[in-house]
Every structure is written in C-alpha cells, then in structure tokens.
Amino acid sequence: MRHPESKPSSASSERAAVIRQVPAVARAAAILRLLSRSQAPLGVHAIARSLRLVPSTCLHILRALVAEELVSFDPETKRYALSSGIVALARGMLRRDPFSNLVQPVLDRLSGRHGVTAIGIEVASLEHIVVVAISRPGQALRLQADVGSRYPALVSASGRCIAAFGGYPWGEIETRFRTVRWDNPPTPAEWRADVEATRLAGYAVDEGRYIAGVTIITAPVMPRGRMSHGLVVLGVSEQLRRIGHGVIGAEVASEATILSRQLEDA
C-alpha cells in the first residue's frame, strides 16, 4: 500500500530549523504541567522526584514561578500549587483565539442534537493536542477531558486526521505512532489504511480502538489547507452506531469546513 504522503509546510520547516533547547524554560513548563495534573499541592522534593530534577534547581525554578504569580506557595505546608495568574493567561489566550469563540456554538449544537460530548481541539504539534472548548449533554459519558487537557497528537480519530491533513512527514508520523497507547491497538498496516480512508472521507472514525466501548469521530479544521484544529464528537459506541457514523461524520466534516473558512477570514 502506498504510504499516505504528508509534505511539511515551509512554516513547519522554519520552526524545526530555529527551535533551540532552553532547559530552564522546559523545566518550568514541566513543573506547571505537573501541578496542573495534580489533585493536591506538591512539595519541592515530590516535584523534583517526579520530573527527575535536582531539588535545588527545582526550588529555584519554583521560586521564580511564584515571583511571576504563576505558582503559589503555602509556607505552612511547604507545598506548591498553580496560582490564579495561570487563569489570567488562559483567559487572555482564549479571548483572542478566534477558533475558541467560533467553535463553542457548533459544539453546543452537536452535543444537544445527538446527545454526545463535543470537543474543539488545537493541534499544538505532532506531540500533542489541546482541548480548547467542550460541550456535554446532561447525561454525558464521563471522561477526564476539560479545557486545557492535553493528549498525544496521534491518538484515536484525531490522530488519523493529523496524519492525513497535518502536513507532517510520514517518517515522523510513523515514529510517533509507535508510542501511542490504545485499548485495542491497530497494526501499523491497519492504521495506514485508516489514515488513507480518512483522507478520502474527510473525517475519521475510531470505534473502540483508543477507548474500549467508546466511538470517537473527528473532522479537521484546515484554514489555508493545513489542519490546525479539529472537531471531535464522542459517545458510547452503541449510541453512535444507532445514529450512524456516516451521518455524524458528514455533519462534523461540514461544520469543520465552515469553521475553516471563518478562520481564514478572521
């Protein structure tokens, strides 16, 4: 079978050429992500151990984050947590992000019409996607997903769309694919066939591969011809089978096409 080709855009090539590792920034970002996932504040040694940092280095970074009001410190418990400064940054981003504003009524419409969870994602890179908007019906399937949640980029139906429409070299895609964890993993050949089918249909369907018993349908949002965001609907497999994968897929793809045009004009 011919491998789905995905040529890198000049923008992605430029990004790859100029990115340089800045350890302090990478460590600070890792600390913020760890604190965002934690159910409770963490001490410096717990943070350092989780991220394999030297405790003194970890402490210096934490103090800098506290000074910038991105992290708070409790002097009694000696523990750190995210501060409200993070919320202010997120609000500023979402307020200026046209996709977040445009997609919310679309998600509400899809969720209400079909009784599914509808999600808007941003394709941050070939490493991960980020949830930027979400709508749930009253009796929604409960998943650990909220605005700001991050997932490996090539998971499930979204990953097939990214492989088909993201503009990434197939060699990089194949390497990343090997690291994805699935409940019912496809073989590389099956996944390549799924990516090609996604390219032809304009949307992807994952029925129980990524999460057993759950079907996920994604369509790419592609301003200027390259996937930057995605529309995702998910629900219990039996429920989506009754509605019809083709029915929902065509509707999600149509909405994604409209959003693509709106983003080009934004």
Per-residue pLDDT tens digits for 95-142: 677 898 899 999 999 999 999 999 999 998 888 898 999 998 876 566
Give the DSSP H/E element, type plus range, for residue 36. helix 23-37
Contacts with 67 (C-beta within 8 Å, 6 or more apart), sequence order: none
Class of domain 97-265: alpha beta
Which residue did the predictor score with more confidence, 87 or 24?
Answer: 24
Q: Which two tokens stand for residue 208?
A: 């129980």
Q: Helical H runs in 178-244?
A: 188-201, 237-243
The boundaries of every CATH 1.10.10.10 domain in the chain are 10-87
CB atoms under 10 Å from CB of 122, counted, come to 19
Kindly report whether the global pTM for this prediction surpasses the value 0.85: no
CA proximity to 148, closest of 104, 234, 90, 219: 90
Answer for the pair 177, 154: CB distance below 8 angstroms, yes or no: yes
CA proximity to 58, closest of 48, 70, 43: 48
| E strands, the chain, in order | 42-43, 71-74, 79-82, 117-123, 128-135, 150-152, 204-207, 214-221, 229-236
Q: Nearest 10 degrees: CA dihedral of 246, 201, 258, 252?
A: 30
Q: Is the pLDDT of residue 84 over 90?
A: no
The boundaries of every CATH 3.30.450.40 domain in the chain are 97-265
CATH of 10-87 given 3.30.70.1350, 3.40.50.9100, 3.20.20.210, 1.10.10.10? 1.10.10.10
Q: Which two tokens stand for residue 127?
A: 């490493």
Answer for the pair 212, 236: CB distance below 8 angstroms, yes or no: no
- Tens-place pLDDT, residues 177-233: 988 888 988 999 999 999 999 999 999 999 999 999 999 999 999 998 999 999 999
Mean of the per-residue pLDDT values of the chain: 87
Answer for the pair 41, 52: CB distance below 8 angstroms, yes or no: no
Q: Whole-angstrom Cα distance, residue 10 to residue 12?
A: 5
